[in-house]
Structure 1
């Protein structure tokens, strides 16, 4: 083997390659008509201070005309649109159920932190009991994530919520912040439990079952500080060296990740802006109810009409609050989770490239080195096995992740569409009731007409969500 690399042999990894079956046609297969990465509008064309201009960038994008799996003649009925984007339910075969609840604050002389109760119920034989209850802090979740990445470098590990959130919520121990983090940690553990490979990780089992002192003892069993520093230095050196020839399928995967990251970050930014604008509109609308009540005290002929308008506004405010709650709980967390996923995917690709770079360096050393060729040949054989296992694991987990991503994003936008439909139905009922009262007053000649509050501004926000939805899925 002078100057050239041996052709890789077929080998068995001995490790589950993501555990996901081959994707069925029409679900995860590449969409027809998309031979390369789609054109993506540059981020700087978005000026979020001009709302209509923001969305016109998306609506005029030529890539939006190619809806891939959607028919170009989209039905006009909202309900028929909802039916198009729903996945069929899969059979429930879970044997591990995890709940994260009851956050509790702890204050010591050194620090203040929050722990969360984790209840695990399982029917698996490898567990000593069918139910466990432990308490964990955020640092323990970070440790688990690190161990999973160490054991499975090319599997897509679910992301953890950020340690600090600077924008919109500065207080770490704010009730809303704690509840948001609790939900994110709950989803993190359940995504691991649903993963066909990660769910059987030994560190994951220890995390769910060991008491605090047992977990601390288990953490100390890992490699020492010097060993970890050496691994980090080698990883950095390999990343600086780079990969000479990345396989074509992983080049396509990397292009997908870059485009996905740009789009999901834009959607997260605009969704947050839409939520902020609607919250401001809702707060302003709440002021009009009391104003109409005070107004009615000085207009004897319009008492009933003005009180009817005030009642309509009050009902619209309640419907709006419910809708805003659905937006903050259903859409925003899902979109932001996949922003974090995009960062995780970049890390997975770097770890895969590091493994291949290590193999390339050994092959290059064998080319120019005459001594110890037998030892290098043996090392190259092991590294080829490692690269093959890493590639197979990533490819299988990649298809599984794409399916879940499409399912989650579509479900989030579908739920939002249903919330919008229900909201408008309620708004129209209240407006029609007030309009009918005004008409009765006019016919009887006992009063004048006062227009009811309109929900028209929210029609624009629904249009924005629809454009964001089609913008995102125009190329995936």
Structure 2
């Protein structure tokens, strides 16, 4: 054995013993020490907060949108869809333009809410792949509306899903124009300011600063 080996081991052990021993930290302690995210302090009993679960919204209705194989129209051919609702136990035929008027009436009655978007309309040269993609998008649109807490209770939705007459667009327009928009008929509209969070201005300032930082970071990455 090399004569200097024991002294080297002793030196190494002494250096190791002088090092501080790290303290074990439980995962729960890390969670407790982490700062809580900043959130708006909403007033208790706020009727503007959604009180439905996802499963409750999904159970409101399931709407099927199926493509009718034969194109309709004497001169200008157009595609029709069979729209079936479990809730209303109905099956009606709708054109793309019927969906457009339906969405316009929702925007008219609910100008302060996010009405789902419609897929684009292609006038000429619509291939089979485009038509199928639009059918799926229309199905997604109408199911989002049918499961919305407020849209699902409106007469416009019931007309669109159950009216079997030939003038569904006129019926939709008449039903929407008679009552005006939601703000004129909502009992909570006159007390809207009472439901704003107390720290809303501070939260707006934080959000503006965050957006500004993201915007600046994006430009730095772009200019590299």
TM class by shorter chain equals 0.5 to 0.7
* Aligned positions of 1:257-296 closer than 5 A: none
Pairing partner for 1:107 from 52, 69, 73: 73
> Counterpart in 1 of 2:135?
182
> Counterpart in 2 of 1:208?
161
Measure how far apart 1:112 and its partner are: 2.1
Measure how far apart 1:214 and its partner are: 5.3
Q: Does structure 1 residue 171 correspond to structure 2 residue 158? A: no
The answer to whether the Cα contact below 8 Å between 1:154 and 1:390 also exists between their aligned partners in 2 is: no
| TM-score (normalised: structure 1) | 0.27
* 2:62 aligned counterpart, secondary structure: strand
Measure how far apart 1:91 and its partner are: 3.6
* Aligned positions of 1:334-413 closer than 5 A: 386=189, 389=192
Measure how far apart 1:117 and its partner are: 0.5
Larger deviation, residues 143-152 vs 176-185: 143-152
Deviations 1:329-377 (A, max 9, x none): xxxxxxxxxxxxxxxxxxxxxx9xxx9xxxxxxxxxxxxxxxxxxxxxx
Pairing partner for 1:20 from 42, 50, 58: 50
* 1:107 aligned counterpart, secondary structure: coil
Q: Does structure 1 residue 192 correspond to structure 2 residue 145? A: yes
The answer to whether the Cα contact below 8 Å between 2:81 and 2:93 also exists between their aligned partners in 1 is: yes
Measure how far apart 1:386 and its partner are: 4.0
Normalized per residue, which structure has more helix? 1
The answer to whether the Cα contact below 8 Å between 1:135 and 1:212 also exists between their aligned partners in 2 is: no
Structure 2 vs 1, CA of residues 142 and 156 (structure 1 numbering), >3 Å: closer, same or farther? same
Measure how far apart 1:153 and its partner are: 1.1
> Counterpart in 1 of 2:118?
160
Pairing partner for 1:117 from 79, 82, 87: 82
Separation in 2, partners of 1:185, 1:223: 21
* 1:207 aligned counterpart, secondary structure: helix
CA RMSD of aligned residues (A): 4.0
Structure 2 vs 1, CA of residues 181 and 388 (structure 1 numbering), >3 Å: closer, same or farther? farther
> Counterpart in 2 of 1:221?
174
Measure how far apart 1:171 and its partner are: 1.9
5+ long unaligned stretches in structure 2: 1-46, 197-217, 219-224
5+ long unaligned stretches in structure 1: 1-15, 23-88, 225-230, 232-350, 356-381, 394-470, 472-476
* Aligned positions of 1:4-43 closer than 5 A: 17=48, 20-21=50-51
Separation in 2, partners of 1:101, 1:162: 18
* 1:112 aligned counterpart, secondary structure: coil
The answer to whether the Cα contact below 8 Å between 1:103 and 1:178 also exists between their aligned partners in 2 is: no
Measure how far apart 1:107 and its partner are: 2.8
Measure how far apart 1:387 and its partner are: 7.0
The answer to whether the Cα contact below 8 Å between 1:207 and 1:215 also exists between their aligned partners in 2 is: yes
Structure 1 residue ranges, 4+ long, deviating more than 2 angstroms after superposition: 89-93, 219-224, 385-393
> Counterpart in 2 of 1:94?
59
| TM-score (normalised: structure 2) | 0.53
Q: Does structure 1 residue 147 correspond to structure 2 residue 147? A: no
Separation in 2, partners of 1:182, 1:154: 27
Measure how far apart 1:146 and its partner are: 1.0
Number of aligned pairs?
A: 146
